[in-house]
Amino acid sequence: MLTHVGQSASAVDGSSSSKAGWKDVAAAYVGLTKPRVIELLLLTTVPVMFFAARGIPPLGLVLATVVGGALSAGSASALNCVYDRDIDEQMRRTRRRALPRHIVAPRSALVFALSLGVISTIVLLVWVNPLSAALSVGANAFYVLVYTMLLKRRTTQNIVWGGLAGCFPALIGWTAVTGSLAWTPVVLFLVVFFWTPPHTWALALRYREDYAGVDVPMLPVVAPARTVARQVVAYSWVMVAVSLTLWPVAGTGIFYPVAATVLGAGFLLEAHRMLARTRGTEDLGVIQPMRLFHSSNLYLSLLFVAVALDPLIG
């Protein structure tokens, strides 16, 4: 990765970044962390802490876990931006990021990313516990080394296995409270694992021309929309089934399974609707993959809110 970073660092250092105002530069550094991704990851961390505590966990512990988790996710995202800046510059969805716009130099972004990673590890190690810190480091290493550098540009299954990194917050939230692992967070880990392909493939279907243009073999690039939609439906059914196993595994109250059933039914309805819209067409205006993408965000958010509320209501 250091060789990759160094290729254009000298050409960018001190050019566009020197012309940008400090507010633009600050916003660019924040953008490197992909704040929306951080929000989603924290949304799967904090509710699990409530569930693990069977109520409201210590606020200091929640704050330390949130800060450490946010810095860790930001570090991984920034490293991803550094490594992928060559293709980000060519894709409509990503060309406005800091590195393609040359507001931040690659070398500076690398230092920033590594610094966030070190600080996040210290925060989790000192104010949470060593297991949570180790899981955080492992998730980052997997995301950067396995997904970004190894899988993303080589296989259509890139997001299936690369998405494992995004499942770790469920484990981290649980271990932050309990100091150990159990089957309950593993179930929630698997929910996120099976949620990731439908969520990402819907977005990749919308931007498949971008991915094709930079030779990233996302499934929607190499397969017809109907094949993608069938895979989305299959993963969605497994995801909903796994979400319902939390009831017997963790001994939840009645609120969670009712919420999971209603939310799952809504998600499956949207997935089947997208499959129906792919019949005989590749027209994205007809298929409307972003409907499923936005529905997936809402589904995961509300499902984990139900995880947090269940012990409080019970």
**Count of domains forming the chain:** 2
CATH number at residue 281: 1.20.120
Does one domain contain both 83 and 217?
no
pLDDT tier at 20, thresholds 50, 70, 90: low
Give residue 125's domain range: 1-6+14-157
* Of the listed ranges 7-16, 69-78, 160-169, 285-294, the one predicted with least confidence: 7-16
55: which DSSP letter? S
Whole-angstrom Cα distance, residue 167 to residue 171?
Answer: 8
Are residues 204 and 70 part of one domain? no
Contacts of 74 (CB under 8 A, 6+ apart): 32, 33, 34, 38, 113, 116, 120
Q: Are 143 and 217 part of one and the same domain? A: no
Q: Is the pLDDT of residue 149 over 70?
A: yes
The answer on 98 and 53 residing in a single domain is yes
Domain shared by 1 and 148, yes or no: yes
For position 142, which CATH number holds? Answer: 1.10.357
Boundary of a domain, candidates 112, 142, 157: 157
Res. 4 pLDDT band, cuts 50 70 90: very low
Q: Per-residue pLDDT tens for 50-98?
A: 999 999 999 999 999 999 999 999 999 999 999 999 999 999 889 889 9
Q: Does residue 263 have a pLDDT over 50?
A: yes
CB within 8 A of 256, min separation 6: which ones?
246, 247, 306, 307, 310
170 falls within a domain: no
Confidence class for position 21, pLDDT limits 50, 70, 90 = confident
CA-to-CA separations, 146 to 58, 80, 170, 266, in angstroms, rounded:
34, 11, 20, 33
Nearest Cα residue to 274 out of 304, 229, 309 = 229
The tokens of 279 are what? 């019949």
Residues 91 and 228 in one domain: no
pLDDT-derived band at 1, boundaries 50, 70, 90: very low
Residue 41 and residue 126 in one domain? yes
pLDDT, one tens digit per residue, over 202-224 is 999 999 999 999 999 999 999 99
Please give the pLDDT value at position 23: 86
Per the CB < 8 A criterion, the answer to whether 268 and 237 are in contact is yes
Mean pLDDT of 233-238: 98
**Do the domain assignments include residue 21?**
yes
202 and 311 inside one domain: yes
- pLDDT score, position 13: 42
Q: Is residue 100 part of a domain?
A: yes
Closest by CA to 83, choosing from 160, 149, 13, is 149
215: left (phi over 0), alpha (psi -120 to 50) or beta: left
**Tell me, what's the pLDDT at 314?**
72
Q: Are 118 and 189 in a shared domain?
A: no
Q: Are residues 41 and 112 in the same domain?
A: yes
Alpha-carbon distance of 17 to 52, in angstroms, equals 45
